[in-house]
Amino acid sequence: MDAELPLSVLLLARDETADLETLLPALGFAREVVVVWDERGDPATRAAAARLGARVFARPLEDFGAQRRFALAQCGEPWILWLDADERLDPTAVAAIRRALTGPDPVESAFRIERRGHFLGRPIRFCGWQGERVTRLFRRGRAHFEDARVHERVRIEGRIGRLAGRIEHHSYATEAECERKLQDYARAGAVAAFARGRRARWWDRELRPALRFLRMYVFQVGFLDGAAGRRLCALAAAQVRLKYATLSEMWRGEGRPPGAGEDGR
């Protein structure tokens, strides 16, 4: 059995039963795994996390920044590894984490690692996804998560190093998941823009989607990813279009997202 490292793995989950059943058994090198489950999700996900040995906390997800801050507060180890349920560490990354935490105390406060995205089962080499490095391993007292409804980031106090290996990110595994994420991210982006007082102009709705496609498909050479690249770029453009259409509807309404109830949900 792998020796346990002074490490808490931090995970958020909602309807990721299958992902957790694959990911959690591979995290035996960590002393603890903390899963914060969105209580509006599938109870089977919570049950799977608990069955596989994680410490599970139930909390409704309002925005990702606040949810990750809550999760971080539940972690008890000096080092934190932040993962998503649809991410996988390759063996080189696991070995690099082990070396970092079993040798002399690192001078770094955090470490970045390469992440490669997958779309509908295919690795994406271009489309602006290439060369991505994310900060995922950090000292618990040297980091905090920013406020963000989506795409939250962690702020680090101190030096940031690099780890060998890679995170494989399977974020768009099916067409249904693509559609769900398109709507979720577009709506979250519209809500954030509305909160800042941003209005949608005609060029936002008509030009920005085309510019997003052009940037990813041509300038970031997404065409080299073939049919998957074209589909991904089209999905990104559709998300931009839906974001600004939703924002326009919010301004035409009564200050709430379309279809929201009296409490804004």
The mean pLDDT of 167-172, rounded to a whole number, is 93
144, 171, 198 — which closes off a domain?
A: 171
Q: Which domain holds residue 20?
A: 5-171
Question: What is the average pLDDT value for the chain, to the nearest integer?
Answer: 91
118, 145, 171 — which closes off a domain?
A: 171
**Residues 187 and 83 placed together within one structural domain of the fold:** no
Quick check: is 26 in a domain?
A: yes
**Residues 137 and 223 placed together within one structural domain of the fold:** no
Predicted local distance difference test score (pLDDT) of residue 262: 38
**Residues 231 and 107 placed together within one structural domain of the fold:** no
Q: How confident is the model at residue 3 (pLDDT cuts 50, 70, 90)?
A: low
**Residues 137 and 246 placed together within one structural domain of the fold:** no
pLDDT in tens, 88-116: 999 999 999 999 999 889 999 999 999 99
Q: What percent of the chain has pLDDT over 90?
A: 79
**Residues 97 and 199 placed together within one structural domain of the fold:** no
pLDDT in tens, 213-240: 999 999 999 999 999 999 999 999 999 9
**Residues 155 and 184 placed together within one structural domain of the fold:** no
The mean pLDDT of 39-43, rounded to a whole number, is 93
Predicted local distance difference test score (pLDDT) of residue 86: 95
**Residues 200 and 146 placed together within one structural domain of the fold:** no
The CATH number assigned to the domain holding 116 equals: 3.90.550.10
**Residues 242 and 227 placed together within one structural domain of the fold:** yes
Predicted local distance difference test score (pLDDT) of residue 1: 38
pLDDT of residue 256 exceeding 80, the answer is: no
**Residues 13 and 32 placed together within one structural domain of the fold:** yes
Predicted local distance difference test score (pLDDT) of residue 150: 65
Predicted local distance difference test score (pLDDT) of residue 260: 46
**Residues 118 and 25 placed together within one structural domain of the fold:** yes
Quick check: is 11 in a domain?
A: yes
Predicted local distance difference test score (pLDDT) of residue 254: 56
- How many domains are contained in the chain? 2
Quick check: is 259 in a domain?
A: no
Q: How confident is the model at residue 258 (pLDDT cuts 50, 70, 90)?
A: very low
pLDDT of residue 117 exceeding 80, the answer is: yes
171, 192, 214 — which closes off a domain?
A: 171
Report how far residue 223's alpha carbon sits from residue 144's, in angstroms, rounded to the nearest whole number. Answer: 37
